[in-house]
A and B are shown apart, each in its own frame.
Chain A
Amino acid sequence: MNPPPERISMEELDLLCERRRSAGDPMPAYVGPLRRHVEEGDRRLLRLEYDASPAALRLWSFLLTEEERLHQARAAGAKIVGTMKDLGTVPVMAYALSNVVAFYPDGAWWTPCVMELSDGLFRIAQSLGFGEAFCPVRAMLGAFVNRAHFPIPDLLVCSVGAVCDDFSAIAQRVESLGHPILWWEMPHRRRPEPDEPAVELPGGFSAPASQVALVRAELERVRSALEALAGSPLGDAELAAGVAQANCVRRLLAELRRLAYTAEVCPMPALEMLIAEMLAIHFCSDRAESIRVLADLLEEVRRRVKEKVGIVAKDAARVFWVNPVADLRVMNLLEDCGGRLAGTEFLFSHALDLIPEDLPPMEALARMALADPMAGPSADRAARIERDARAFGAEAVLVSRIPGASHCALEGAVIGRTVRRTLAVPVVEIEVPPVADPIMPTLRSQLEALVETVMERRKR
């Protein structure tokens, strides 16, 4: 029998793990107590609260063992591809090859948080000219230098053009350190002119056919590089199978999001939802296992929704969250302050949409890549947020700025204007540094005030 839904400490989650092990419950080999990661330096885990379920234990264990998995893959002779900046496209292609594993070096942006700055990655980045005026993703630079985290990939692929300026600069610095990068261009998505051939994209956008053709040609270059790396062809049949598997992940996430964000009682904490959604873009270095992890989580959520039980009070304020947070503890804070998630846009909503399976796979991938919310005008992103927030019944929108991130500088204002005008719900911006402890009281004030504002609105 599963424990009742609640948030628990790491020690309590480890107890749950030990009880399951003692009871002989079948668990994948990577599932284990989180304290082993604390012993390796992941000190932030002691300060987080976790969902009290075997499914959450599996999710966390899966996430925290990614680096081990990558090292094991290398030892087993697999080729490793570092896919940078593009969110959710190249991994779909890479996993279509049997002996290739892809991961996001960008994910190192959470290392300073999880290790509470003891990792020294920011210091290395600073020494290379990337101080705190840059996005926390600069931690990736440190990880390439000290080689203490992910293995150095056999192939590095990075999108460039209409992507985050900080990231482009940081990736160029990575290349200057002797790590060659295959760059592929992402054009700034624009609306087609009236007399211009247009293509519908996932997510409700459209773009000129010429832009889709450009992205497709760029992805063909990536395909060639992957084939050369793997030493085997990457045909359309393999790609189509890869797209189908990626869509399997996306379907699971779509159902998980629908249930978690619309249920009367919130069935899953915000923190676990953030981690789960991230699987859409990187599969945590094991696509097949990510499907099983998400299926487990979905089953738990389904059970809770059916039983009408959850992790916060029924009347919790329904908050739509924009952008991922550098400090994971802030996701806990939402529930501490009387809120719950009612939708998210963590900068990769295109990676949650299904990739069209009725098109040639490279065409489908090009259309999906071009639907990236960061590749188009902020107004497009704002419109999508407004649409999703409405669909999930959000009562407020919280825009979480990433300090130093160039795309965050003005987007909040655009999103705020759109959402206020059309949904008439409060929109509040916060800024979350990688370790937010010193400003936790003020973040709490802002979240509590947002919840108070929602509660007052309900009385009107």
Chain B
Amino acid sequence: MIGAGIDAGSRALKVALFDSERGQVLAAAVRDQGTDHDGPARELFEELLRTEGLPRRRVARIVATGYGRRAVSCADTTVTEITCHAVGVRHCVPDAATIVEIGGQDSKLLRLNRDGTVRDFAMNDRCAAGTGRFLEVVASRLGAALDSLGDLARAAEAPAPISSMCVVFAETEIIGLLASGARREDIVAGVQASIASRVAAMLGRDVTSPVIFTGGVALVPGMAEALASALATPVRVCPEPQMTGALGAALIACRQASASA
């Protein structure tokens, strides 16, 4: 049985196809997200089917998740990204106890029960601090490519102090730091530490290991280390971190199809 998961995130669109009989991901794809969620989601899903040579009828159920989930008209149902990330990460890392998910527009912290279900969660969704958006602003201000930030951070000698929790104010601080001769590498490392400390503050003292880091920002080199330092506990990056929401949605699609069969 094949289940499809469509994660209509704020910055990227992700689709995963999961075969529950073989217990493996058949295919997955990711594309930048625009303002319309429905058309691009359907196109990416159909493109994936074509690439895999799968007829649409082989897909037993489609679950949409993510910020734009309600706009995905080809989905049979919707499930929140909180639940989907929990399912997706636990599939990849069966002993995950705490999940940190940092996406383009928000960040989430999930505490899991022993059986992998969500115990509770926290979400930062009103402020760009602690999200991938912060890194985009910094990359733009420094004239650097987003995927080069990790290399820059690795070359840091002393992370620059970013005192503001607000991205707009932090950008002003970055301008000031640049004007005073701070190295770009140190600024990037300082920003990573700032994002990590913001996320750590959300998590509070209730951190159960292992902590798994997922979401698009987990792909940025140096972020996991910054997070581990802020949490004072080891942090593991989930395999294919950008896809865990879509994977979780596909797994839930399989479960639901199986339950109704």
A residues near B, CB below 8 A? 413, 417, 420, 426-429, 431, 439, 441-442, 445-446, 448-449, 452-453, 456-457, 460
Contacts and interface: CB of A to CB of B under 8 A. Distances in A.
Contact of A442 (B67, B70, B83, B122): B67
16 contacts: A428-B120, A428-B121, A439-B125, A439-B126, A441-B68, A441-B70, A445-B81, A445-B82, A445-B125, A449-B80, A449-B118, A449-B121, A453-B119, A453-B121, A456-B83, A457-B117
A410 to B, nearest CB: 11
A448 B123 CA distance: 13
A460 B115 contact: yes
Nearest to B65: A445
A448 B80 contact: yes
Nearest to B80: A449
Contact of A456 (B67, B117, B126, B206): B117
Given A452-B79, A452-B82, A445 B121 contact: no
Nearest to B127: A431
Contacts of B204: 413
Nearest to A419: B120
A122 B204 CA distance: 33
Nearest to B83: A452
Contact of A426 (B79, B118, B125, B126): B118
Residue in A428, A449, A453 with the greatest tally of chain B CB atoms within 10 Å: A449
A431 B82 contact: no
The dominant DSSP class at the B interface is loop
B8 to A, nearest CB: 11
B24 interface: no
B148 interface: no
A453 B118 contact: yes
**Top 4 A-B pairs ranked by shortest CB distance?**
A449-B82, A426-B120, A442-B125, A449-B80
B115 A449 contact: no
B80 A431 contact: no
Given A449-B80, A460-B115, A442 B123 contact: yes
Contact of B117 (A417, A445, A446, A453): A453
A420 B67 contact: no
A428 B122 contact: yes
Interface of B: 67-68, 70, 79-83, 106, 113, 115, 117-123, 125-126, 204, 206
Contacts of B70: 441
A414 to B, nearest CB: 11
A451 to B, nearest CB: 9
Given A428-B122, A429-B122, A446-B123, A460 B82 contact: no
A420 B113 CA distance: 13
Contact of B80 (A417, A439, A452): A452
Given A439-B126, A442-B67, A427 B120 contact: yes
Contacts of B117: 453, 456-457, 460
B35 to A, nearest CB: 13
Nearest to B119: A426
B123 A445 contact: yes
B118 to A, nearest CB: 5
Contacts of A445: 67, 80-82, 123, 125
A426 B123 CA distance: 13
A222 to B, nearest CB: 39
Contact of B126 (A428, A431, A441): A431
B229 to A, nearest CB: 22
A420 B120 contact: yes
Contacts of B83: 449, 452-453, 456
Nearest to A403: B126
A456 B248 CA distance: 15
Given A420-B206, A426-B121, A452-B79, 5 more contacts: A426-B119, A441-B68, A449-B80, A453-B121, A460-B113
A9 B70 CA distance: 22
A460 B118 CA distance: 11
